[in-house]
Chains A and B, each alone.
Chain A
């Protein structure tokens, strides 16, 4: 979960996006002899592939439903608890709550969500999380056994339990989104699928639980983050920070929808962590240029988020914004209380602030520490460049 809150603002976290890579292919390999024919064939092949995948997914959904029916116990009176819930019960929703039951560990919740809701096969789920297939298979088998043996009910939780039971569902969906969004290796199509799947699940949640504001917050956060995906990496695959991204290439439709949802959440005035993160994302996407960013608003939102989630990662992100309002010295002081010694982004952030304060020796040391901890190749290259630019 360490990554979950960090990704939106700290742009030092991106990796190659499937779409960005696909867009590069033509210039690199040269224009084919019959470009029209090539495009048509490619487009048709893509359409066939997609149809094949989607029909397989529907089949997988049916298979998953059958799995639930035959292997897991279903509550014989699933709707009795709905009471004041003015919602038509839906199997997908019940399945989401089942997969994300609090008695299951978070990594199990996400694996089950991908397998039973996303329709991914076990090897694909294993690849998504970079674990061996046998490990993932065992994890899923154990989870099913636990669900069956404990008679975990297949139902939508009663209204008073919904906010609590929703949290792991939202967390699982957001984890799927992040895996797809920031993946450093593996199947590109699978990565794009994960993002699409997470957004789809978010939409389902919002549609089926219109009175719950946090699912809307999650959906807005995902839309606003995804809107920027094409500009997060340059043609050579290197990282492009938020301040340097070409905003004209941000997806305006996604941003418009995200903003609309955020405005609606503000009206409802029942703030929660995902809504607040979405609002922060909205302040960024609302700025025509990096210089127009309303950093004070962002700091204020982080204050609210910290009040709900007193978490070092939130405090770190807040410090990044604070530097823009009160200068790097104040931000550096704010970071002195943070205990994230094994988190590369803490050191990268400190390094950046130290550079701005002219403390180059200290900055170099901070970059060194960040480089010891970074695991993602694109981020490493970025940090190396920054370190080198400081000269010996």
Chain B
């Protein structure tokens, strides 16, 4: 079994859903989460607050810097993620396909490094 991160990404300027559409999305994601859990693939997951709520901390020696805002000065920002367990990439991709349908956005699939023996 390998752990994969399935991260949801937003592009700057794209319209966020409101009202009824937002509600539909919540319901869909909720249902998806339950499917993952029922299959025993769930490790962790959740949605993140908007990028401007972030803070970047960097420690170099005794110096600690703190910056207001997300790390990447990019148009693309992470919106949330799932950590799942799957036997191989095909299984992880299948979860990603369904997760992308539920949250109506692109999902990046990345494997975790194996723990050193």
B13 located at the interface, meaning its Cβ lies under 8 Å from any Cβ of chain A in the complex? no
Expressed in whole angstroms, the minimum distance between the Cβ of A211 and any Cβ of chain B is 22
Q: Is the pair A75, B88 in contact by a Cβ cutoff of 8 Å?
A: yes
Contact with A along B80-108 (1 / 0, CB 8 A): 00000001111011000000000000000
B70 located at the interface, meaning its Cβ lies under 8 Å from any Cβ of chain A in the complex? no
Contacts between the two chains (Cβ within 8 Å), count: 26
Which residues on the B side are within 8 Å of A206 (C-beta)?
none
B79 located at the interface, meaning its Cβ lies under 8 Å from any Cβ of chain A in the complex? no
B27 located at the interface, meaning its Cβ lies under 8 Å from any Cβ of chain A in the complex? no
A103 located at the interface, meaning its Cβ lies under 8 Å from any Cβ of chain B in the complex? yes
Measured in the bound complex, the distance between the Cα atoms of B87 and A75 in whole Å is 9
B37 located at the interface, meaning its Cβ lies under 8 Å from any Cβ of chain A in the complex? no
Mark out the residues of chain A between 88 and 114 whose CB falls within 8 Å of any chain B CB in the assembled complex: 101, 103
Q: Is the pair B93, A151 in contact by a Cβ cutoff of 8 Å?
A: no
Measured in the bound complex, the distance between the Cα atoms of B5 and A128 in whole Å is 37
Expressed in whole angstroms, the minimum distance between the Cβ of A154 and any Cβ of chain B is 9
Number of interface residues of B (CB under 8 A): 11
Which residues on the B side are within 8 Å of A189 (C-beta)?
none
Contact with B along A201-228 (1 / 0, CB 8 A): 0000000000000000000000000000
Which residues on the A side are within 8 Å of B89 (C-beta)?
101, 103, 150-153
Mark out the residues of chain A between 122 and 159 whose CB falls within 8 Å of any chain B CB in the assembled complex: 149-153
Q: Is the pair B88, A149 in contact by a Cβ cutoff of 8 Å?
A: no
Residues of A within 8 A of B (CB): 73, 75, 101, 103, 149-153
Further 19 A-B residue pairs, CB within 8 A, beyond A151-B87, A153-B88? A75-B88, A101-B89, A103-B89, A103-B93, A149-B111, A149-B113, A150-B4, A150-B88, A150-B89, A150-B92, A150-B109, A150-B111, A151-B2, A151-B89, A152-B88, A152-B89, A152-B90, A153-B87, A153-B90
Show 23 residue pairs from A and B whose CB-CB distance is below 8 angstroms, ordered by the A residue: A73-B88, A75-B88, A101-B89, A103-B89, A103-B93, A149-B111, A149-B113, A150-B2, A150-B4, A150-B88, A150-B89, A150-B92, A150-B109, A150-B111, A151-B2, A151-B87, A151-B88, A152-B88, A152-B89, A153-B87, A153-B88, A153-B89, A153-B90
